[in-house]
């Protein structure tokens, strides 16, 4: 596959629009998945994924073909998302907006919707924890690849993933989705 990607990149650099479409098609799911989990909003994620590909095509001549393409592309997407998140933080907050979890016990129907609770839990994680966790579990990158994407030491990535799992498990416990005795999450 790396040779195939290298060939696609060479074709893109020569202006082959079909190669550009192939490159987008091959990696759009991973890029969009990272963006939606980092940003939490589908429209923002679509915009950032598109912007990530535009930036990648502009910088394609700087990609080192001896390295994996996907971590390089995800680093671009992660940077675009972090830029948008930083801009959001600079905007004035609306009155009545809260930064803490509501103290409400979910009913049985809500407890059954683990995927939704996970999404909510992810939204409360610190940005770097969420990004490391998404890259580890959804993108299935190793710690070294995540460190490259996030431009930080491998030890830091391990710490972020561990803390993200712990905080997510605590969120699920507070929401009543995960019992204290649940063995699946006790290892976090």
> What pTM, to 2 d.p., does this model score?
0.58
- pLDDT one-digit tens code per residue, 147-173: 988 889 999 999 999 999 999 888 878
Buried b / exposed e along 54-88 (16+ C-beta atoms within 10 A): eebeeebeebeeeebbbbbbbbbbbbbbbebbeee
- pLDDT one-digit tens code per residue, 2-37: 468 999 999 999 999 999 999 999 999 999 999 988
176/113 Cα distance (integer angstroms): 11
Spans of all domains in the chain: 2-90, 108-186
Whether 184 shows a pLDDT value over 70: the answer reads no
Give domain 2-90's CATH architecture.
Answer: Orthogonal Bundle (1.10)
Q: Are 77 and 134 in contact (CB under 8 A)?
A: no
CATH of region 108-186, choose from 1.10.10.10, 3.30.750.80, 3.40.50.620, 3.40.50.2300? 1.10.10.10
């Amino acid at each position: 596959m790396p040779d195939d990607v290298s060939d696609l990149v060479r074709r893109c650099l020569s202006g082959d629009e079909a190669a550009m479409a192939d490159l987008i098609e091959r990696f759009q799911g991973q890029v969009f998945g990272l963006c939606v989990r980092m940003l939490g909003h589908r429209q923002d994620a679509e915009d950032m994924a598109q912007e990530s590909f535009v930036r990648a095509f502009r910088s394609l001549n700087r990609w080192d073909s001896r390295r994996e393409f996907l971590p390089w592309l995800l680093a671009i997407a992660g940077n675009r998302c972090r830029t948008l998140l930083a801009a959001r933080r600079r905007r004035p907050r609306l009155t009545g907006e809260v930064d803490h979890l509501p103290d409400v016990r979910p009913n049985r129907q809500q407890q059954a919707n683990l995927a939704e609770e996970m999404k909510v839990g992810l939204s409360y994680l610190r940005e770097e924890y969420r990004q490391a966790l998404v890259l580890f579990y959804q993108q299935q990158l190793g710690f070294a690849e995540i460190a490259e994407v996030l431009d930080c030491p491998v030890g830091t990535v391990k710490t972020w993933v561990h803390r993200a799992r712990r905080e997510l498990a605590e969120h699920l416990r507070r929401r009543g989705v995960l019992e204290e005795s649940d063995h699946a999450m006790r290892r976090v």
